[in-house]
Amino acid sequence: MSAGRPDPNEDFQSNLAGRHRSASIWQILFLASTIAGIVALGLLLINIINGAFGLVAFQNEADPESLVLAVKEDEMLNAPNTVASEDDTVLAEGVAGDPNAIGLFGYAYYLDNQDRLKALSVDGVAPGAETAENGAYPLSRPLFIYTTADIMREKPQVAAFVNYYLSSVGAVIGEVGYFPAGPETAVKNATAWLEASGVEGATLPTIDPASVDGNIDIAGSSTVYPVTQRIADDFKAAGFPGRITVDSVGSSAGLRAFCVDGSVDIANASRPINRAEIEACHRIGREPIGFLIGIDTLSLVTSRDNTFLSDVSLEQLRHIFTTAGAWSEVDAAYPGAVIARFIPGADSGTLDFFTEEVFDLELAHLPKETLIAILKNNVSAGLVRRFESEQPLAERSQAEVLGLVLERVVKPTIVGTWSLIASLTERSAIELEVARIPNATLEFRSWLSSDFISRPQSSIVELAGVRTAIFGSLWTILITILFAFPVGVAAAIYLEEYAGDTWLNRIIQTNINNLAGVPSIIYGMLGLAIFVRALESITSGSAFGVGTAGETTLNGRTILSAGLTLGLLVLPVIIIAAQEAIRAVPRSLRQASFGLGATKWQTVWSHVLPNALPGILTGAILAVSRAIGETAPLVVVGASTFITADPDGPFSKFTTLPIQIYQWAARPQDEFRNLAAAAIVVLVVLLLALNATAIVLRNRFSRRLT
C-alpha cells in the first residue's frame, strides 16, 4: 500500500467496531426498557393486589347473628307442647314427671334432681368435670359476674363483695354443682380486681365484711344464681350489715338492668357479654369488667322413666326443639309419643347459649320465608309495600331477599380498611385500634369474591358488585367486533386487492394511518354527534318499536351507540393490521389462482383471506384489547356511572368495567378504592379471556392451513 493512502482494512475494522458499539448501546437500551417495563408492571400488579385484599372493620346496625338467634329462639319458644320458664326448678319438676319430656338447664339443677332425672350424652360425650374442663362436652359454658371499676370505687361494699366472691368461689362452686375455672383464671380475676379498685399488690387483700355497709343489688342468670346466692348468704353470715338482693331473671335481663337501666351493681351471666350490651353500657358511662367464676355443662335431661333416649346428636337436638312433633320423627326406632319440651325463657342466657351452640347462625343459610319475616319485622310497612310493588317478595330468590335484609336491616358500615401489606405486618396494632370501636368486627376480606362478581352496583360499598358492568362490557365489545371486524377486513381487502394507485386512494390510506393515532375522546364526540343524536331513532330502538316515544329514558345513549363508537375507534387498527396480513400473502399464490382460471374474488376468498386470517385475527386481538379498556368515548356517548339494572339488549342503558373503576377510584372513601382494585382484576381477567379465545381461534385456523 502506497504511503499517504488510507488502509481499507483499518476503515472496515473501524466501521465494524462502531457498529458493534451502536448495537451494544441499543441492546442495553432495549434491555433497560424491557426491565423498566417489567418492573412497572410488577409494581402495578402489587399495588392492585395490595388493594384487593386486606383487613376490614365492620359496624352493623343490627347484628346478623342476633337476628338469626332471635328467629331460632322464637321457633323453640313457640314450638308446640313447649314450657318455658326462668325458674329451673319448674323445668326440672316438669321433666321428672313426664317420661316423654326433655329439658335443658344448668348442671347444678340436674345434680339436685338426679334421683328423678337422667342426663343425656351429646354426640357420645357425657357431661362432667373432666369433659367440661377439656372442652370435649359440646355444651360446656363459662359463668361470669360483671361490674365496673367506677361502681367498685364509689361503693366499697360492692368491691368487698366481689373480693369475697372471688376468694370463696373456688370452694363453693363445686358444692353447688359446677366446676372451678382453674388457677390461671384466679390470677387474672385478682389482677382485674386490684386494677379496678386501685389497690396495689399481687394478691387479693383479706376483707372483713363487717367493715363495710350499704346495699348491693345483683340480677341475672338463673344458672349463676345459686352460686351468687350462696356467697351472698356467707357474706352476710360473716358480718355484712347491709342488704344484698339477688334476682334470678336471666342473663339478658340482668345485663339489660346493668347496662341499660343501671339499676344493679352486679350482673350474673351464663354467657359472655356481647358487643351490643357493651355499647349500651358505654352509653350510660359504664365500662363492664367480667370475672370468670366457673364452668357449667348445660345438661339435657329426661325422666328416669324414659327408656329409649340416652344419647343425642346436635342434628337431632335441632329437630327435637323446633319441628319434631313426636319422638318417632326424630328416630324411627323411638316411640310415637308426643315430645314435651321444657326450656329456659326468652331472657335466659342458657337459652342463648344453647341456641348459639346447636343452631347454624349464618344469616345467608336461612330459607327465603324466614328472611322475608325478618325483613317485614324490621322495616316500615311502606317500604315493604314498595318492595312488593317492584317485585313480590315471594317471587324473589333467596339471594335477592338476603340482599334486602343486609341492606335494609343489618346495614353494614365499613369503618376501616387496611391494605394487604398493612394487614400482614401491622395486624396487632390494627386489632387494638378496632377494639376501641364500639360494636366493630374485624375480618380479613377478599374484595374480589363470587358475591362481588354476581352482585349489581350499589351505593352501599359492602353490597356493591360488578355484574352489571361485566354484562355492559360484554355487550359493548360484542357490538364493536360485529361492526368493526367485517368493515375493517372489507376495507383492507379493497385497499390491497382492488384500489388503484390514485390520489384519492392515497388520501384514504393516509387518513386511515392518521386516524389510528387520534385521541379516543374525539371518537366520543363523533359518536355523540352521529349515533346518539343524528341516528337517535335507530340507536334508541324507537325505530324498531322498542320503548315508547316521549319517555324520558328513550334516547340514543345505549349500548348500540357505545359499541358503534368503539367500532369506529378500533377500525383503523383492524384495517392496518389486515392490510399487512394481506400484503404478506405471496404474490405467487394469487398468480397460481389466476392461472387456473379463478376470478379476482375467488382468489381473494379462497386463497388470500385464509392465509392472511391469522394476522387479521392478531389485529382484532389488539383492537379488542384497546376497546375494552376505553372510558372517555363511552362517557361522552352517555354511559351511566351508577346503574343497577342489567342490560338485556343493544338498546339498554349501560355501564362498563372501566367506567365503574373510574367512578370508584374517584370516590374519597378508601373502601371504594379497594373495590376499584378488585374490579381491575376482573377487567384484566376478562381481557385475558377474550384474548385467549381469539388466540385459540387464530391458532386453529393456522393449523388448518398448514
The 3 state secondary structure assigned to 66-78 is HHHHHHHHHHHHC
CA distance 474 to 466: 12
CA distance 668 to 285: 34
With beta carbons less than 8 A apart as the criterion, state whether 79 and 317 touch: no
Across the range 554-581, mean pLDDT stands at: 89
Residue 705: pLDDT over 60: no
Whether 80-134+299-358 shares its CATH topology with 140-297 is answered yes
Residue 470: pLDDT over 80: yes
Residue 485: pLDDT over 60: yes
The 10 Å CB-count burial string (b at 16+, else e) for 93-121 is: bbbbebbbbbbbbbbbbbebbeeebbbbe
Amino acid 101: pLDDT: 94
CA distance 589 to 238: 115
Q: What is the CATH number of domain 140-297?
A: 3.40.190
Range with top average pLDDT, 46-50, 188-192, 365-369, 459-463: 188-192
User: Using one digit for the tens of pLDDT, what is the confidence trace for 394-436?
Assistant: 888 888 888 888 888 888 888 888 888 988 888 888 887 887 7
Label residue 439 by pLDDT band (50, 70, 90). Answer: low
Nearest to 679 by CA among 558, 634, 695, 687: 687
Q: Is 617 helix (H, G, I), strand (E, B) or coil?
A: helix
> Which three cell numbers mark 458?
350499589
CA distance 626 to 618: 13
Amino acid 330: pLDDT: 92
Amino acid 4: pLDDT: 58
Range with top average pLDDT, 331-340, 515-524, 625-634, 686-695: 331-340
Across the range 450-465, mean pLDDT stands at: 82
Across the range 5-11, mean pLDDT stands at: 69
Mention the CATH class of domain 467-705: mainly alpha
Residue 1: pLDDT over 60: no
Residue 342: pLDDT over 90: yes
Higher pLDDT, 170 or 18: 170
| Entry pTM | 0.60
Nearest to 227 by CA among 286, 275, 171: 171
Residue 7: pLDDT over 80: no
Label residue 3 by pLDDT band (50, 70, 90). Answer: low
With beta carbons less than 8 A apart as the criterion, state whether 631 and 660 touch: no
Residue ranges of domains in the chain: 80-134+299-358, 140-297, 363-448, 467-705
Across the range 636-645, mean pLDDT stands at: 82
> Which three cell numbers mark 558?
345505549
Range with top average pLDDT, 53-57, 266-270, 612-616: 266-270
Amino acid 76: pLDDT: 92
Average pLDDT for the chain: 87
The DSSP output letter for 407 is: I
Interacting residues of 345 by C-beta distance below 8 A, sequence separation 6+: 77, 84, 85, 86, 250, 351
- Residues listed for the chain: 706
Residue 84: pLDDT over 60: yes
With beta carbons less than 8 A apart as the criterion, state whether 300 and 339 touch: no
Label residue 553 by pLDDT band (50, 70, 90). Answer: very low
Nearest to 646 by CA among 490, 453, 427, 393: 453
Q: 375522546: which residue's cell?
A: 521
The DSSP output letter for 114 is: T
Label residue 275 by pLDDT band (50, 70, 90). Answer: confident
Label residue 548 by pLDDT band (50, 70, 90). Answer: very low
Q: Is domain 80-134+299-358 classified as CATH 3.40.190.10?
A: yes
Residue 587: pLDDT over 80: yes
609-628 vs 559-583: helix crossing angle, rounded to 10: 140
Amino acid 111: pLDDT: 85
Q: Where are the alpha helices (DSSP H) in 606-669?
A: 609-628, 632-637, 657-665
User: Using one digit for the tens of pLDDT, what is the confidence trace for 145-157?
Assistant: 999 999 999 999 9
Share of the chain above pLDDT 70, in %: 97
User: Using one digit for the tens of pLDDT, what is the confidence trace for 161-175?
Assistant: 999 999 999 888 888
Label residue 252 by pLDDT band (50, 70, 90). Answer: confident
